[in-house]
Structure 1
Amino acid sequence: MTRVRLRDLGITIGRYKTGTHNSITDIPGVMVGHVTLSDKKENGCTVQTGVSAILPHPDNVFREKVLGGAYVINGFGKTVGTIQLQELGLIESPILLTNTFSVPAVSEGTLRHLLHQNPQIGDTTGTVNVIVGECNDGYLNDIRGLHVKPHHARQAILSAKSGVIEEGCVGAGTGMSCLGFKGGVGTSSRVASFGTEQFTVGAFVVSNFGLKKDLRPPRGDWTSCSEQEEKMPDGSIMIILATNAPLNERQLSRLAKRASFGLSRTGSYAAHGSGDIVIAFSTAHRIPHESPPHPKRIPFTFLREDGDTISRLFEMTVDTVEESIWNSLCKATTTEGIHGRVREAIPYDMLLGGTS
């Protein structure tokens, strides 16, 4: 059976319309690439993992940076690069996502890609801040095998595209579990008019949190699961937000905070061992790497926080994060992993308020 997205089931989230593809790639210039590693080795180990890359624009991100912000809902995670992002409010590399133990390899691969693009890094100019996020896919994946290599990161970056992107068991989402079922990659977007302008907010998630008992369906009531569930780590989620609205880095950090509301709607309560990290960026402005001539001013304009405009963007963010999570579940297929473990695809009637 072909797996479908949430809206194909007749379920809509919120009052705003979606972009053309209902995807983070509805923000002009944003691209996504995946490398999926799914294989059963001769030694019996099962590989279910991968890498996903989100590019703020198709050009050289180090040379033309974008404004960004980050928010830690719960900090049980191993991200790279978010400290400098929070300090300076700039993103100067593609954003890469993978499994927990593959953060070093993916960081190296992303760094090598940027060094190849920019021979001056570390020589005639400064260093570069690579951003890598992770979730633990060790329930299904032979995570100890360190199967993700540096070249997979570069491959994910080079394969990035706009338009329709794959969801479910792909890229960084290949081995993930969510709310007791098979999780993975999901995306969604919202579009609204603000006077004479139109702004889009998009989300991209790698979902890996919660148990069946936590699930809160988007439609109807569902009696909490009474079956005994296997004890699992608390899980995690990576949430990437993009918008073409002209927000500054402080406003983007505020936007990132609102992702927590979309996450909580699905059943998450950010458990003790859950790494719940949000990274947000705007494509409205590009900041050149070289300093301009004196006086060193860059003439940018940003949205005024008059209440209504920023609040509507917050609401759009909440809705798109929630739908992205549901899409990650809807598109994921039943997957067999290491030690014969299986994660079943979520039955659609659960999302419709059933009890299967």
Structure 2
Amino acid sequence: MRSLLLVGLLAPAMLSAQVRARTVGLAPGIFAPGPFNAITDVAGVRVGHATVSEGDSLRTGVTAIVPHGGDLYRERVPAALHVGNGFGKLLGVTQLRELGEVETPILLTCTLCIWPAGDALAQWMLQKPENASVRSINPIVGETNDGQLNATRWRGGIGRAVVQALESANTGTVAEGSVGAGHGTVMFGWKGGIGTASRVLPASLGGHTVGVLVQGNYGGVLQMAGVPIGPLLGRYAFQRDVAPLRPGGAGGPGDAQAERGDGSCMIVIATDAPLLARNLERLGARAIMGLARTG
């Protein structure tokens, strides 16, 4: 209950501003975060967002993760993929799995946007003077379906958003929430978005940094630091089908909600630990365990 009480102690200015979890006392784990508590705490990693918002129907965007500032096509990065479950439209997965490396930045966007996004990323890479003789490129583009808030069949302007996200990518603080690829996403019946964090191992364990960036767009029963937030606030998956999860709480057929507990989540992990594809895949598998702790 301490975490809930801390919310009530926030100043009014904090309640109206974007507040990170640690500000309200939610500090999971025992290891310290990096300076920015973001994926960019891994040296060289940059992140850029481009948000697409028009009228009352377009709510989507692109988030770009750039592994380092060098020539990525020639200085490829070891990489791997782990799929917890699902059937996402991940672009570039065949070569990623076969070679265990990436040769382009990683993009996140909406489900029906991956093809124009992949084309724009390939064009952006091929137009570099040093790639004048390159005849093949393998763009990596992941997605979640933001169709609940976004007119997802619309795909115009995604190419421009890709270029904007790539060229604005920077180190340091990473914008979170309803930005970039998280602009149209939903989580647990509330607004979803982009989240990021990092942890630094102590010197006795190698001193390496692990950073994570998430495009969250899924449901379930929300927990924060072990506190069952969803039941306490009367909003959780399958609420219409079950009895209240707390005495006096919401639930049952009389308090139905449309959130169905489905959706998807993209998790991008970066580390400076000396790992190749096999152990990177093992690291990715452990991310699913962390996801499960939130509900």
**TM-score higher than 0.5:** yes
1:89 is aligned to 100
Paired with 1:223 and 1:235, the residues of 2 have a C-alpha distance of: 17
Paired with 2:175 and 2:90, the residues of 1 have a C-alpha distance of: 23
- Which residue identity does 1:217 align to in structure 2? M
User: Structure 1-normalised TM-score?
Assistant: 0.70
- Which residue identity does 2:18 align to in structure 1? R
2:186 is aligned to 177
**1:249 and 2:258 matched:** no
Q: Helix, strand or coil for the counterpart of 1:75?
A: coil
The equivalent position to 2:222 in structure 1, one of 215, 227, 237, is: 215
- Which residue identity does 1:11 align to in structure 2? L
Q: What is the RMSD of the two structures over their aligned residues, measured on CA atoms?
A: 1.5
Count the aligned residue pairs: 257
2:13 is aligned to none
Alignment of 1:278-289 (within 5 A): none
**1:56 and 2:50 matched:** no
C-alpha displacement at 1:54, in angstroms? 0.1
Paired with 1:57 and 1:216, the residues of 2 have a C-alpha distance of: 34
C-alpha displacement at 1:222, in angstroms? 4.5
Q: Helix, strand or coil for the counterpart of 1:245?
A: coil
Paired with 1:189 and 1:140, the residues of 2 have a C-alpha distance of: 29
Paired with 1:235 and 1:156, the residues of 2 have a C-alpha distance of: 24
**1:198 and 2:198 matched:** no
1:15 is aligned to 30
1:265 is aligned to 293
Which structure 1 segments of 5+ residues have no match? 268-356
User: Structure 2-normalised TM-score?
Assistant: 0.84
**1:235 and 2:263 matched:** yes
Alignment of 1:147-162 (within 5 A): 147-162=156-171
Q: Helix, strand or coil for the counterpart of 1:261?
A: helix
C-alpha displacement at 1:220, in angstroms? 3.1
Paired with 1:157 and 1:73, the residues of 2 have a C-alpha distance of: 28
Calculate percent identity across the aligned residue pairs.
42
**1:29 and 2:73 matched:** no
- Which residue identity does 2:91 align to in structure 1? V
C-alpha displacement at 1:23, in angstroms? 0.2
The equivalent position to 1:186 in structure 2, one of 174, 195, 214, is: 195
CA 1:172–1:221: 2 relative to 1, 3 Å? closer
C-alpha displacement at 1:231, in angstroms? 5.0
- Which residue identity does 1:251 align to in structure 2? N
C-alpha displacement at 1:148, in angstroms? 4.0
1:68 is aligned to 79
8 Å CA contact retained: 1:216, 1:265: yes
The equivalent position to 1:79 in structure 2, one of 81, 90, 110, is: 90
8 Å CA contact retained: 2:217, 2:264: yes
- Which residue identity does 1:156 align to in structure 2? A
8 Å CA contact retained: 1:11, 1:219: no
The equivalent position to 1:136 in structure 2, one of 140, 145, 159, is: 145
Which structure 2 segments of 5+ residues have no match? 1-15, 235-250
Paired with 2:229 and 2:176, the residues of 1 have a C-alpha distance of: 25
Paired with 1:187 and 1:199, the residues of 2 have a C-alpha distance of: 17
CA 1:233–1:108: 2 relative to 1, 3 Å? farther
CA 1:142–1:221: 2 relative to 1, 3 Å? closer
**1:39 and 2:54 matched:** yes
- Which residue identity does 2:159 align to in structure 1? P
- Tell me: higher relative CO, structure 1 or 2? Use CA pairs within 8 A at least 6 residues apart: 1
8 Å CA contact retained: 2:48, 2:169: yes
